[in-house]
Each structure stands twice: as structure tokens, then as C-alpha cells.
Structure 1
């Protein structure tokens, strides 16, 4: 074994001090090892692979010592694994299942029997890979999907290459769907070859092991390092990588501009079954593949590892860049998507069984644009991003396999049988019902604080992804840090936006397109207030109010409509106006008239955009003081002066003048916005909803 801990292609992350703190707790050490392996995407994919440990526990019924296996549970991720995510099973009961096994055609019934082997009935559900660990005699086992190993496992000469690198230290098992039978074959292979350090599963992945967590970790790293060394020594030796470049890279700015322009169109086409969230990458590994001569041939062969195509579909949609550079590209894209759907439907019909689940969404998950990069679409951002990561893994696999042999994709029938596996279907059926705003992208102007931030958080809670923005860089930085900690990177993106500057608006919509695919909901919330008697009101005050409130609402909406029309999915525009649009008050000529203009602009937009199924509605707040920049400035002093009260008395004054005697909070406005966009009012447009505690003078009717 390698004792220098010097690796060039994998990361050695083991910390002796940390491991010493966990000494004596085998489960904690097993989880520590798992987390380290999952932290390096060169070793395995997100939620891919599994790890295990066998140890002695006390039988709660007999008080006797008994061997129990702890293993990653179904649907978990070893990089973030905790005890809660593990299944634990009696090892002797797993072996006893051999007497119940009736053969390959009865594989699925074994999964139900795993529940009878559970040591802790409240643990995580066991995965289909459980017998692959449980029937092996080793204390610590790692099953991973490293690109370097799968490249060998998915090559025509994979078994011979394995022997060339490792001699008889590793054994080869041809491709077989995971299950009890594969566990029996693994057990037999190890029994017949007692000196093995691992097994390669054809087209699938790697099994390695050790007597301790550290030994298993080191064995795993060494095998993957050796495979990586072999591949890297052969890149370009037999032939140019991917047959050499068919086109040159464009510069990064051009790629992103092109991607942002096309993304809403692709998203609209990909959302025929359900509304999708997108992801874009122009990673150098992706560009090397999409710009290559071998792209058409290899893309058509499909992926090999089951973990890959379950998230990417068996093959991508490859776009013709020449067709996208001419007029009429929308017609080309519509046909390209129609052809892909027809091809997928034919794949389903060729391979379906009498009991196969109904055909799923036939639209592509992965879309490759030579010269630009890769787009992926899924039900949420994380799934779309992970799909991109998995297809990048598949690219790595194809690159390695072609360097040392010929890449071999999984046979179509095998791919179908995994994709439409009844156990996989049952897992999908157990997924929670989507939240009302799942698949929706919302851009809320002025969302680094106050009402805008409350709306963004309310939308996130209901399943949307959001674009937070502000013209104050420091305020936006604070919100960005808060959202990152609270929601994570897949829930939002942030952009500096000045609603009076069309170029920053365009940049923000481009950021939304690159991050998520477009926009579905736009909330015009950015604003300011100036309260002065008419004789003190300056022209500068007037212009600022109208630029931010009226012109800003117009420009943001105008560019939103352009994106929404590309998507052809309809949309929502919500304008946060004010009770001042309806009520005449003192010292308020500029602000009140600008708010009235916002309100009527909303009506005009609603009348014009109905044909596009873009709904435009208004929420009229009043006196929302909490976390508001407006109230931190001279506005509060102006309003207090106008009403003959002190600034400190304003909240109480506003509450007392309402019919409900209520103070209005940012969350109240956010809830009104939700009412318009959560599906309950999907046939309403041109409406005004007052959220002011009840101000009779502001009644619309």
C-alpha cells in the first residue's frame, strides 16, 4: 500500500487528529471516511456509490453480541452522510435471504425482505445495493463510481486493461443490474480469489475494502490513482482526444451572451411536461467534448454508468450551431425537440415490458451546443446542476475509454430496464408533492431588504428560485451572505440592479437566464419616497421619483416580457404600488402622482399582455416601516410633520387610522404576492389588492 500519501489525481483528505478523536467509534469513523470520499467528485458522483462497515452490536432481544452492517441508506449521499442516513441490518439475516432467493426474475421481491433484516427498524431504508455489501466478508467496503475506473469498465478491452494495470489484484464482473444476484456473484468472486483488493463491475463502478476505515480509504484512493495514471499516460497516444477539435472555442463572454439569449427558448421547449429549471456550464471539459469531431458518434452511444443516465437520460440533444446562426432558428429548435421526443418515445416502445410504468417526460435533460457549452433542465436547480455534473462525468468516462480502447455504452435494453425499473418508479411515487411555486423563477427588484426581501423569502419557502438584487452593493452583499447561509447556492442568485439603467436590468435578466433559465415572476418592488410641501419639492426630486418608480417599473417589465415571450410559458408581473396611488394626502405631490402612474401603467400592461398569458396585478401596501430604507431617511420626518406627530409615533398613528387597527409588516405584503402567483388566482389580471389594514379612502370600488 502507498504510505507516502502523495497522490496526483485524487485528494488525500484524511486527518489523523480528527480520526484519533473518533477512535473507538467505528460508525463515526465509517461516516468520516464516507464524507471524505464523497468530498472529491473524482471519486464518486453526488448521491452515487455507497460505503459500509460491519461491527458487533448487542441484540436488543437476547443481549448477545451480533454482527450488524451499517450502510448508506437509499437515496443518500456519502459526502453528507450522517448516522440518520444509514441503514443497519443483521448480517446473518442478510445471508439467510439466500434461502429465499428465487432467481433473477424475482429480484425485486428481495428488497421488501431487507426490512426483515433491520437492526433498528427506524433507520433509513436499505438501498438495492445492500446485498453487494452484506454478502461480502470484509469489515469496511467502499463502492464508488470514479470516472477513471468507469472509463476502464466502459471500454471494449476493459478486463484486459484491468489485468495490465493490477494483475490479479482486481477481478472483473460483467455488467449486471444491481441486486441480490449481483451480490451473490460478488461473494463467489471473492471466495474464489482470496487475495483480491477490489472488483470492477463492467460499465458500472468499483468495489474496494479494508480491515479498518483508513485501510479501506487508502486502498480506494490507490486503485483510483493507478487507473488515473494509466489513462493520463495514454491521452493522445492512440489518437487525438475525441478525434481532435472540429471547431475553435469562442471567448467566454461571447459564450455566456449566446447562452443567456437562447436559454429561455430552450427552457420553454423543455417545459412541455412540467416547468423546468435550467443550468448552464461552459466547463473546459464540456467544451473539449462539444467542439470535437467525435461528438455526434459518442453522444449517440449514450452513457454507461446507471447513476449517469438516471439523471441525464440515456443520451443528450445535440444542437446544430449552423442552424442557430441564421433566421428561423426557433423553427429549427422546435423540430429538434420534436425529433428528440419522437426518438425517446420510440426507445420506450422498443424496450417496454407489459408491466413497465407509463412513459415519462420525453424532453431532453442535457442539451449540447457546440462552441457554447451544455444546458441541463430538471424539476429544480439542484437536480439540473447535478445532471450537468453527471454528464460531465460521462464525458470524462468517454474520454478515458477512447484513449485506451473503444467506449461502449450500456445496451439500450439494460438502460431502459434501469430507467423504468419498478423499484425506481416506486421511489419516484414516494417523492413529496411539488410546492406551489416549484419550477418557477422569480425576480424581485429591491430584494436586499424590506418588502422585497420578505417576498423573496416567501417565494423560496413555496419552492421558487429567486434573483435577489439591489442598487446598493453593500446591502446586496449582506443579503447575499444571509441567503447563502439560509438557503444554499441552488436557491437563488444575486445581481446588482439599478432599475433606472436598462443595461443593468439586461445584465440581471442574463444572470437569471444563466442561473435558472429565464423568469416567470417579476415583482417591481424597488422604490423610494420623498415627502415635501409643493413649494419645497425640487425638479430633481420629481425626476428621481418618476425615474425609479415609473420608468423603472416600465423598463423592468419591458425586458421581462421579452424573456417571457421567448419561453412561451406565460408569466406574472406584480407591482408593489401604494395606497397613495388612490388617496390624496398632503406634502405628497411627487410620490403620490408617481404611484398613481405605476398603478395605471399596471392596468395598461395587463390589457396588452393578456394575449401572452402574462398577468399583471398590483399590491397596494401602506406604512410598511419594518426594515425599510424609505423610513430610515427624510420620508419618515416628512410624513410625521404632515400628520402633526413625532417620528416615533408614526407606527402607532398609521395603525390607529386603519379599520383593523393593525401594523403592516413586510410579510403581509409577501403573503399578498403569494396569493397572486401560487395558482389560486391564475385567471385574474389587472387587479389591485390593498394590504393597508383597511383605509376606506383607498377602496378601489
Structure 2
């Protein structure tokens, strides 16, 4: 153990975080949130004043690539190592996780992970535990121990599969002590662990193991490890692939949401398409993934469509429904085979990964990031299978061991510690006119409440700015769309379902207004406003209904109408008439779509001046002239004519949209909610 002076603890932590970020920032080294790193040193104990040996280790739930000091658990090594004296044996090793809390040094920091024992019990100042595809390929090969010896000699030692925990830490510690020449080990069915006297040496040893395994697989591997191509199973052309994926996405999302709603992700990455085009993919997919991080995200195996891409979409859809029923029955049987009286209840029998030959991979989770990461993990699994099959035979851990981890009491406790989902979690919204004003405020509120949002606007640059501000592609995407154009609307929905799996909340907000008296209103003025708002809302709602009925998950359509839809104001014939059209669309569609569980409601704002794109575009000046007030005073004028004497802002309209869609008004449809601070003449009758 090198001596680290009190002031050196800062340097130890800084070096650990830098090493972690470098290793975690390269997907060849480890998967998202996978693996952990540690460093040991000394620091002054504020209670005794003396030096105490500490270990800083990545805590539970963190990600190496983005790890900060707050993500580290800090433990006293004397207490951690003393746990070996009270260790009750492998049958009760889970009890040791609670004991880690009694080894913590000070307040704050992350909760210790299940791998804490590995880092604390192994006698090395710096340790990396990683999940590289190349290392797992050796770990999951039928003759992995022999291949590890052939690849590394005695510098990297094989450790038989054992579930992560205290005993695995003891196993690795014993292997290191018996092999002083070793720089690390390959953990059967799992990953790699490396160590070093310095942070730099530890990182170099980790990279050496990963890169030597990559070279070994490349040099020793046979060509076409997944077998020859299957006739007719090649990838469809890119455009056709995307169109087929978009057509299947709503159906699939509805199927995999049988137990609980899911958000989706789609990829047609070349390794996925190549895997699905070759003869061995059914066998390998059925074997499932191996690394615990993999199958906890992807489930024990994917659902695979067993038809070529040339089949008609209707035939593919029918077969997917059959396969889904079979998958659920098989998963329930898997649970029954291995569950005992102490097992947690089955969490859901739907697949997390769906593979469609010639098209690509659909992955699912509780939010977009989880869905995307699940797909990334299965791509890791494909790489692992390729490597193992290239030099041997892919042999993942036993199904019973997978169940022990998937339904581990510690995993269940981890899930229960997660915060409650937000009201709109798993909901996917498409908001028109979302590049500014009310639409932007609605998008902001929906994302804040947990939804994923398709930010649709005629101004693509504004839409992109809003989507970026909302958090980027795991939260929001931007689409450029003219709501008067049927194809552009269909394209916007295709982008939405490819990004998030489907769409189940639509806000018709796009609008324009030209304030003129009757004799000055041209046919073009009339047509333009009706095309954008009446026709546009109709076209968007029609496309939304197609997606929502295919998903069979219900849904919400909200129209941003206006007080003018029910109030006869001066010099406003075209705008008010089209708003009345929208208002009646709400009633008509509520009546028609109710049988599909789709609720249709409206919001009637008035006097939204600040932040409004319509008012900034000239409407404000026109209305100010009508009422004889300065334009900058228009908001105040509108406020004073209301019962509440309050100005209406875009976020107030957004609040009403959330109220209609956030879960409390589940039995409300065909309603118009006024957001006008009280305009008595616009009261609904």
C-alpha cells in the first residue's frame, strides 16, 4: 500500500475519476453504467487525528464515463477487511451488502455497490472491473479458460463464474495472491478485472487485457462466425427499412406494453442486420445474453421475428402477435421453473428486445435512455457472441444463474429505491408549433413531467433549439413540418415513432392569425388560416389516430383552441371561424375515438401576449389597434377585462394541457378548458 499523505487524498480521487472517465468514455472498454473502479490511500481521521486507510470506489448505479466525486463510495479498509471474520458463507453472502454501510467514512457519497468486496479484498492499490466485448467473448466461450491461457499466458488468470458479491471478491483475492505475476483476471461469464500499483499502471493493464483479447479474436477467429447468409434475409434498402420500422413500431410498442407502458428505440446498425441475415442467429438469440449487466437490461433473450423481410406487412404483424403470446408464455414458464417462496413477484413477461430480420432492432424501457441503452447492450451481446463463436462456441451462464440475478433480492431492493415515476413517464407527445410561444411552453411542461416530446414546427431551426434545450434526443427531437402538408405530417409521425416507439399524446397548437374586418378579409386570408388551423389540426389528428389505434394503448389529443371559438369579437372573422371549427373537431373526435380509449379535449386561451409567436408576428399590433391601446400595453389591457384581472402567459396554457393529460382526468373527454383569467362572455353554455 503506497503512503498517501493527507493532502494526497485529493490527488488519489482526481486520478481515479480521470481514469474512470477515460475508460468509461470508450464503449470498447465497458458498457453504459457497467463496471467499477477504485483507488486506495490514506487520509487523516477527523475523530482520532491519525491516518486511516480508505478506499474510494464507484458506487451503485453510477456510470464510469460521467463519474464525479459524488458518485464515489468512501469506505474504511480496516472495517471492510474485518468483514471476512464475520462472513457467514456464500449462502448468506447477500447479508454483507448491508454491512458495507458500517464501513463508510463520513457523510455523503454514493451507496456501495455489490462489487465493493472485489475492490476492498483484493490486495492492490488500484483496481478496474470492466465489461469489454472482447473480454466477455472469452469469458462466455465454451473453453474460455483454455482460451484465456492461450491469449495471455499466466499474466491474466481465469476465475470460474460466480455471481457478483462477497465470495467473488474472496475468489479474486485468492487468485491474485496465488499468481503474483498476474495483471488481472477474466471472470467466467462476466467480464475482466485488472489491478496496478499506480492509477496509470492499472489503466494500462486494463487496456492491455482488452486490446490483447481483441487481437486474439481477430487473429484466431474464423470468418463468418454467425454462419452463411440466409437467402432472402438480407437488409432492406435504407429508405424501405425505415418505412417498415415506422410501420411496425406502434404495433410492437403496444405489444411490449402489455404489462406496463414502455418507451422504444430503434436501430438498424450494420452488426444487427448482419447477425439477423445469417443462419446461426436463431440458435444464438435463443441462448440469450450472459454478462449480468447485459441480461438485466435485455431480459434473458430477445423476441425474434422468424419471417423474411419480403413478407407483406400484415403477415409480419400477425406473426409478431403470435410470437408475443409465445414469448409471454415462455417467460412465465421460466419464472415458474426457478422462483421459490422468497422470490420477488414476476416483473413483467414482455420482451425488452425485438429483432426483425432485414429491418433492425427495437428495444424498450421505462424511458428513452433505458430503451436506448438496452439496445446498446444487445449490440454488445452480438459482439460477444461473434467473438466467442469465432474462436469457440458461445456458452452463456446457466438459465438458473440468470434467474438468480434477475430476481435477486438485492436487485429488487435497488429497484424499490428508485424514485417514483413522474406523471407523464412513458408518454410520447407530439406538439405542433412548438418552436415558440404556447407550443414551446407546452413542450417544456410535458418534458418536465416525464414525457418524451417531438417538437414540430415550420421553423426547423427554432424546433431544434427547443429540442436541445429540453435535453436532446433522450428527451426531445425536432421535426420540420408544415401542418397543411399530409406527407410532411406523416413523416413527422414516422420520425416520432422511430425515435420513441410511438406517439400517444398530441397537441394541436400550430396557428396563425390575421386580424381584419370582414370587408378587408381576402379569400387568401380565410384560406390560409383555415388551412393551418382547421385543416392542419384535422390532418395531425387523423395521423395521430392511426398510430394510437395501432398501438391500442389509448391516448390524448389536445386542441389549443381560443376564447374566440365561442366569443364573437370584432374584426376577426377568419381566425374566429377557424377556431370554432377546431372547437367542434374536439367534440366530433371525442365521440368517434372514445371506443379506442383516445380522449380528445381542448384548451381555450385568451390574451396570451408575452412569449406568443402569433402576437410577435403582427397579430399584437393589429389587436392593439382594434382596441386603441399601445401594443406594449396589450397584455395589461386583456388582463383588466377579465374577472381575475390577471395576464395569461404561455405556461398557464401548458398547465391546462398537463391537467388534461397528467392522469387525474382519466374519464374526461370532449371538454374545453378556458384559460382566459375569466372572460364572462366566453363562458361555455
Q: State whether TM-score is above 0.5.
A: yes
TM-score for the superposition, normalised by structure 2: 0.97
Q: Distance in 2 between matches of 1:23 and 1:118?
A: 16
1:7-34 deviations in Å (ceiling 9; x for gaps): xxxxxxxxxxxxxxx9971111111100
Establish whether residue 650 from structure 1 lines up as the match of residue 634 from structure 2.
Answer: yes
Q: Distance in 1 between matches of 2:58 and 2:531?
A: 57
The corresponding residue for 1:319 is 305
- Partner SS state of residue 500, structure 1: coil
Q: CA deviation at 1:473?
A: 2.5
The corresponding residue for 1:218 is 204
Please provide the CA RMSD for this pair: 1.3
Query: Is the CA contact (8 Å cut-off) linking 1:623 and 1:664 kept in structure 2?
Result: yes
- Partner SS state of residue 535, structure 1: helix
From 340, 350, 353, the equivalent of 1:353 is: 340
Query: Is the CA contact (8 Å cut-off) linking 1:602 and 1:616 kept in structure 2?
Result: yes
The corresponding residue for 1:632 is 616
Query: Is the CA contact (8 Å cut-off) linking 1:654 and 1:663 kept in structure 2?
Result: yes
The corresponding residue for 1:405 is 392
Establish whether residue 609 from structure 1 lines up as the match of residue 593 from structure 2.
Answer: yes
Q: Distance in 2 between matches of 1:465 and 1:189?
A: 48
The corresponding residue for 2:562 is 578
Q: Distance in 2 between matches of 1:326 and 1:375?
A: 16
The corresponding residue for 2:370 is 383
Query: Is the CA contact (8 Å cut-off) linking 1:381 and 1:516 kept in structure 2?
Result: yes
- Partner SS state of residue 631, structure 2: coil
Q: CA deviation at 1:300?
A: 0.6
Establish whether residue 425 from structure 1 lines up as the match of residue 412 from structure 2.
Answer: yes
Establish whether residue 521 from structure 1 lines up as the match of residue 508 from structure 2.
Answer: no
Q: Distance in 2 between matches of 1:103 and 1:60?
A: 34
What is the correspondence of 1:231-630 to structure 2 with a 5 Å cutoff?
A: 231-237=217-223, 240-246=224-230, 247-322=233-308, 325=312, 327-483=314-470, 487-630=471-614
From 609, 625, 643, the equivalent of 1:641 is: 625
Query: Is the CA contact (8 Å cut-off) linking 1:23 and 1:29 kept in structure 2?
Result: no
- Partner SS state of residue 141, structure 1: strand
The corresponding residue for 2:60 is 74
From 113, 118, 143, the equivalent of 1:157 is: 143
| Gapped regions of structure 2 (runs ≥ 5) | 1-7
Which runs of 4 or more aligned residues in structure 1 lie more than 3 Å from their structure 2 counterparts after TM superposition?
A: 234-237, 326-331
Q: Taking structure 1 as reference, are residues 531 and 447 closer, same or farther at Cα in structure 2, changes over 3 Å only?
A: same
- Partner SS state of residue 88, structure 1: strand
Q: Distance in 1 between matches of 2:467 and 2:475?
A: 11
Q: Distance in 2 between matches of 1:570 and 1:328?
A: 24
Q: CA deviation at 1:139?
A: 0.8
- Partner SS state of residue 71, structure 1: strand
- Partner SS state of residue 529, structure 1: coil
1:352-383 deviations in Å (ceiling 9; x for gaps): 12211111110000000011110011111000
Establish whether residue 42 from structure 1 lines up as the match of residue 28 from structure 2.
Answer: yes
The corresponding residue for 2:5 is none
The corresponding residue for 2:45 is 59
**More divergent stretch after superposition (43-52 vs 322-331):** 322-331
Q: Distance in 2 between matches of 1:220 and 1:575?
A: 56
Q: Distance in 2 between matches of 1:213 and 1:522?
A: 52
Query: Is the CA contact (8 Å cut-off) linking 1:150 and 1:397 kept in structure 2?
Result: yes
Establish whether residue 168 from structure 1 lines up as the match of residue 154 from structure 2.
Answer: yes
Q: Distance in 1 between matches of 2:641 and 2:294?
A: 62
Query: Is the CA contact (8 Å cut-off) linking 1:319 and 1:370 kept in structure 2?
Result: yes
| Gapped regions of structure 1 (runs ≥ 5) | 1-21
What is the correspondence of 1:135-150 to structure 2 with a 5 Å cutoff?
A: 135-150=121-136
Q: Distance in 2 between matches of 1:626 and 1:60?
A: 55
The corresponding residue for 1:118 is 104
The corresponding residue for 2:3 is none
Q: CA deviation at 1:250?
A: 1.5
Q: CA deviation at 1:60?
A: 2.4
The corresponding residue for 1:699 is 683
Q: Distance in 2 between matches of 1:125 and 1:538?
A: 68
- Partner SS state of residue 241, structure 1: coil
Query: Is the CA contact (8 Å cut-off) linking 1:140 and 1:216 kept in structure 2?
Result: yes
Q: Distance in 2 between matches of 1:472 and 1:122?
A: 46
